[in-house]
């Protein structure tokens, strides 16, 4: 098991996604500075019902975009890989230290037809969203390890659904959930500004080919 600093948040960071964070608490400013200076990862654990979920994602600081006079900072982080939180301790550091183990998918046969359908639906939605650029996905040029996590970044998934998605250990199962969600919201996007706005404000930086 690996020990790592923890940052509990009400977000779901997907592997290979880029996410902006505003760091204001002193203990997490210490965590971010320590990790940035020493090129270390930290763990982002989603919070649900005031408790940390066991499944989270390691993160690395990509860039400190601004430092404020009061010590607060704005940063960009990139998700690396999922983990399962075995336990955590407090006291030695101002932030939690977690004992983690890798959290990998179970072996399965990839459903390429399902992947194609999800990409087609996602691209249709990307073309409909107004006010922000969402790069379409070229199925033959994908270099991301998991298509599902790439698609999930800009689909307007509710928070609890994001938690469900990152906890699934099957790429096919994640794609099936995304397909159902995409088929549901595509007609609504054409007429409902609220759905459009949720997707625009998902938080993740625009999708780029990795």
Instruction: Render pLDDT for 51-91 as a digit per residue (tens, 0 to 9).
Output: 999 999 999 999 999 999 998 999 999 999 999 999 999 87
Statement: the pTM of the whole predicted model exceeds 0.85? yes
Three-state SS letters, the chain: CEEEEEEEECCCCCCCCEEEEEECCHHHHHHHHHHHHHCCCEEEEEEECCEECCEEEEEEEEEEEEECCCCCEEEEEEEEEEEEEEEEECCCCCCCEEEEEECCCCCCCCCHHHHHHHHHHHHHHHHHCCCCCCCCCCHHHCCCCCHHHHHHCCCCCCHHHHHHHHHCCCHHHHHHHHHHHHHHHHHHHCCCHHHHHHHHCCCCCCCCCC
CATH architecture of the region 2-102: Roll (2.30)
CATH 2.30.130.40 occupies which residues in the chain?
2-102
Residue ranges of the chain with pLDDT lower than 70?
Answer: 143, 191-196, 205-210
């Amino acid at each position: 098991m690996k020990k790592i600093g923890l940052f509990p948040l009400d977000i779901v960071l997907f592997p290979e996604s880029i996410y902006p964070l505003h760091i204001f608490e002193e203990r997490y400013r210490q965590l971010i500075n320590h990790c940035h200076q020493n090129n270390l990862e930290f763990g982002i654990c989603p919070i649900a019902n005031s408790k940390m979920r066991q499944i989270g994602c390691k993160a690395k600081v990509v860039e400190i975009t601004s430092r404020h006079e009061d010590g607060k900072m704005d940063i960009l982080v990139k998700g690396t890989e999922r983990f399962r939180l075995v336990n955590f301790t407090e006291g030695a550091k101002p932030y939690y230290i977690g004992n983690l183990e890798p959290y990998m998918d179970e072996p399965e046969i990839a459903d390429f037809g399902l992947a194609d359908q999800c990409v087609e639906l996602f691209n249709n939605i990307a073309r409909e969203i107004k006010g922000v650029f969402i790069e379409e996905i070229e199925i033959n040029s994908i270099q991301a390890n998991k298509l599902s996590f790439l698609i999930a970044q800009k689909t307007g998934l509710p928070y609890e659904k994001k938690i469900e998605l990152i906890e699934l250990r099957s790429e096919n199962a994640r794609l099936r959930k995304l397909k159902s969600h995409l088929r549901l919201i595509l007609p609504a996007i054409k007429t409902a500004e609220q759905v459009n706005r949720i997707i625009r404000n998902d938080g993740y930086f625009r999708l780029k080919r990795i």
